[in-house]
Structure 1
Amino acid sequence: MSEENSIKPHGGKLVNRITKADPVGLDSITITEDLANDVENIADGIFSPLEGFLGQQDFENVVSKGRLTNGLAWTIPTVLDVDQETATKLKESGDVLLKNPEGIGVAILHVEETFTFDKENTSKGVYGTTDSSHPGVAKTLSMKDYLVGGKIDYIQRPEETEIRKYRLSPTQTREAFAKAGWKTIVAFQTRNPPHVAHEMLQKTSITTRDGVFVNPIIGKKKSGDFVDEVIVKCYETMIKHYYPENRCKLGTLHTEMKYAGPKEAIHHAIMRQNYGCTHIIIGRDHAGVGNFYDPFAAQKIFNDYPELEISPVFFPAFFYCRKCLTYTNPKACPHDDDAKEQISGTKLREMIQNGQAPSEFILRPEVSKVILDSSHPFVD
């Protein structure tokens, strides 16, 4: 793809930490599947400009200012936590092999430093709260006491699985966009199957742009969220039945939802800039959970990061209005709630668990069928 037709990666260049280094003789530690995914994301440049786990100065700057020490925007700490005994060993050994839960050595970590951190201060800085009912705070408070900083070299990808078949690197997405002839690409972040309102929001966004990159999060989610396999199958179905050819690209992003609201909205934008997207849709309560964030906080935070090359596309809530006879939003529709086809996540789960299909103005019938046919549509 010619450079003049592509948006620059965050920090100016795509990181590539894929190597053929030999891990023979190295001590090893086992990391979680989600952390193994993030190590792969670092290696592929999805997390550009990061080349590994944050060191202490960068970590503290991200928590307090939402930026790396060099001033580049970065809002979600990417870290490896270990106990004191492991931290001491790692500091002495220098290099360590990182194994995924299947026992595959995926990367070599070049240990540069180990340090302790304040979990409550970290929670407040990233999530805006220390309330342990927030899933991100609960995870932070349960972390081990030491963090390890250092660059990684990625040596072995996990086996290909059905859920990984749509995983794409920024090099691959940029090539795909170029092949499609797209110069303006709007990213759509999601952790749910597509409501018809989401579909309409995407289609409204590409009316004046070349295509949409639908990029569901695949990874650990909270109880009650849809499982990854259902999300992917629903999007396959929607794109097959309701999108014109060469206007929508599906690719999965394998990382854990943080539910960090505005801070995560910036993180989501940075990753999609690295993929080569020129725009990202930021809707109501983007990456939020419960009532922890103002519904439009994730839109307002972009005022603090004007230097990002990717442009946010802001939308209020979308819904079908039976009086307007169209999908619309509060800025354009004067009618009261009785005229609006809307459904809460809780109500949608109840209907599905009872074998009921929601209104066709909420979910496409083909999408409803995918969900209803699943024996296990929700995270326990």
Structure 2
Amino acid sequence: MCGSSSLRILQAPRCSPHHSHTAIRRAPVAAVTNVKLLVGKPIYGANELLPFLYRRTTRSRNMKGAVLPAIKSSLIDPDGGALVDLVVPEGERAAKVSEAEGLPKVKLTKVDVEWVHVVSEGWASPLRGFMREDEYLQSLHFNSLRMEDGKVVNMSLPIVLAIDDGTKESIGSAKDVALLGPDGDVIAILRSIEIYKHNKEERIARTWGTTAPGLPYVEESITQAGNWLIGVDLEVLKPIKYNDGLDHYRLSPKELRKEFDKRGADAVFAFQLRNPVHNGHALLMNDTRRRLLDMGYKNPILLLHPLGGFVKADDVPLDVRMEQHSKVLEDKVLDPETTIVAIFLHLCITLVRQKCNGMPRQE
């Protein structure tokens, strides 16, 4: 969607078990700009129950005593059916660190570390590491991945790790390598590696819809990257921390789900943004909650999801934005009892032409 923010409802009514895997693509019931209602596992197409829900809701506003349809809801399943967690259990870390010391090394950039963080916590489920060539080509050409059971999941952005010629030569015939952070600390092990050619021009053209110079992220992280990609299974030796005073806002998908349960959410709607909350944002979020209550939900929870990671030079710094978001809750512009603030880890796709259903769009 256009602009620097997006709104998505992560849960929606299940009125019949026969429609538990259908996505509502058009949503007059909660008719706010660019809202998606998701019911279970989405398919492409509109839900034929939508006019019924809309009529019932409308009639309940005009007729005293009208009863809304019963609503059942649950958190949508992660892509692939289960959340990926690639952080090594604490009791096994010492042995893994010792093993890593004897492996060939790959030095990561700051952005690479952020992608390790994304993959390790399950934000890119079902990926279990950086893409191998077959996964990369599926993502690049079809915006999706086919699972071993034949199911297809959305994956419109290739998540890959580039290495240069010298690093490729130093790896040689090794099957496993260690990843070093920018400060030289070992942060992960890559298992059963596969090295293949990094066709940068095709990657840029198919992902962003153009190869024009000056694209944010592209020039910083792709055109200057190595000529090879390394696909791997990833083992992260400890949780990724940034020690910037904001780590308590970086909740993993697993932690977010626990927080939703703790608050008794029967619906969750998310608002992603990379700038301070302004009046239009607040009105949209509060109105969405009101509409969900009108639909019959009892406790809709807002996930305010400021974007971290790579940002443009003229963006408001993350620490300033987080301070502003805290003040918004303190002043009750948004209800702190029904709002969770959590940083989303990586940002690059919102700064350039992003593919949506196979078509690029400007963010």
For residues 288-303 of structure 1, the aligned pairs below 5 Å read 293=361
Q: Does residue 105 of structure 2 align to residue 28 of structure 1?
A: yes
Q: Select which of 322, 326, 329 maps to 1:232.
A: 322
Q: Which residue of 2 aligns with 1:310?
A: none
Q: Does residue 78 of structure 2 align to residue 9 of structure 1?
A: yes
Q: Does residue 154 of structure 2 align to residue 73 of structure 1?
A: yes
In structure 2, do the counterparts of structure 1 residues 88 and 188 end up closer, same or farther at CA, with 3 Å as the change threshold?
same
Q: Alpha-carbon deviation of 1:254?
A: 1.9
Q: Which residue of 1 aligns with 2:223?
A: 141
Q: CA–CA distance in 1 between the matches of 2:258 and 2:338?
A: 15
Give the secondary structure class of the aligned counterpart of 2:290: helix
Q: Select which of 308, 313, 321 maps to 1:218.
A: 308
Q: CA–CA distance in 1 between the matches of 2:330 and 2:266?
A: 23
Give the secondary structure class of the aligned counterpart of 1:143: coil
In structure 2, do the counterparts of structure 1 residues 5 and 145 end up closer, same or farther at CA, with 3 Å as the change threshold?
same
Q: Alpha-carbon deviation of 1:154?
A: 1.0
Q: Alpha-carbon deviation of 1:132?
A: 1.4
Which amino acid letter does the alignment assign opposite residue 102 of structure 1? Answer: D
Q: Select which of 220, 223, 233 maps to 1:151.
A: 233
CA deviations on 1:128-184 (whole Å, 9 max, x unpaired) are: 111012224424222210000011011123454302220001111001001111121
Structure of higher RCO (CA pairs closer than 8 Å, 6+ residues apart): 2
- What is the RMSD computed on CA atoms of the aligned residues? 2.3
Number of matched residues?
A: 268
Q: CA–CA distance in 1 between the matches of 2:212 and 2:224?
A: 13
Q: CA–CA distance in 2 between the matches of 1:145 and 1:164?
A: 33
Instruction: After the TM superposition, list the runs of 4 or more consecutive aligned residues in structure 1 that deviate by more than 4 angstroms.
Output: none
Q: Alpha-carbon deviation of 1:100?
A: 1.5
For residues 118-267 of structure 1, the aligned pairs below 5 Å read 118-138=199-219, 139-159=221-241, 160-209=243-292, 210-241=300-331, 242-258=333-349, 259-263=351-355
Q: CA–CA distance in 2 between the matches of 1:231 and 1:13?
A: 32
In structure 2, do the counterparts of structure 1 residues 245 and 234 end up closer, same or farther at CA, with 3 Å as the change threshold?
closer
In structure 2, do the counterparts of structure 1 residues 171 and 64 end up closer, same or farther at CA, with 3 Å as the change threshold?
same
TM-score under structure 2 length normalisation: 0.69
Give the secondary structure class of the aligned counterpart of 1:220: coil
Q: Select which of 117, 121, 133 maps to 1:44.
A: 121
CA contact (8 A) 2:179 2:188 kept: yes
CA deviations on 1:279-313 (whole Å, 9 max, x unpaired) are: xxxxxxxxxxxxx946xxx7xxxxxxxxxxxxxxx
Q: Does residue 127 of structure 2 align to residue 53 of structure 1?
A: no
In structure 2, do the counterparts of structure 1 residues 233 and 247 end up closer, same or farther at CA, with 3 Å as the change threshold?
same
In structure 2, do the counterparts of structure 1 residues 88 and 174 end up closer, same or farther at CA, with 3 Å as the change threshold?
same
Q: Alpha-carbon deviation of 1:238?
A: 0.8
Percent of pairs with identical residues:
24
Give the secondary structure class of the aligned counterpart of 2:246: helix
Q: CA–CA distance in 1 between the matches of 2:183 and 2:265?
A: 39
Mark the runs of 5 or more structure 2 residues left unpaired by the alignment: 1-39, 41-72, 293-299
Which amino acid letter does the alignment assign opposite residue 14 of structure 1? Answer: L
Q: CA–CA distance in 2 between the matches of 1:58 and 1:179?
A: 36
CA contact (8 A) 2:273 2:305 kept: yes
Which amino acid letter does the alignment assign opposite residue 153 of structure 1? Answer: E
Mark the runs of 5 or more structure 1 residues left unpaired by the alignment: 267-291, 299-380
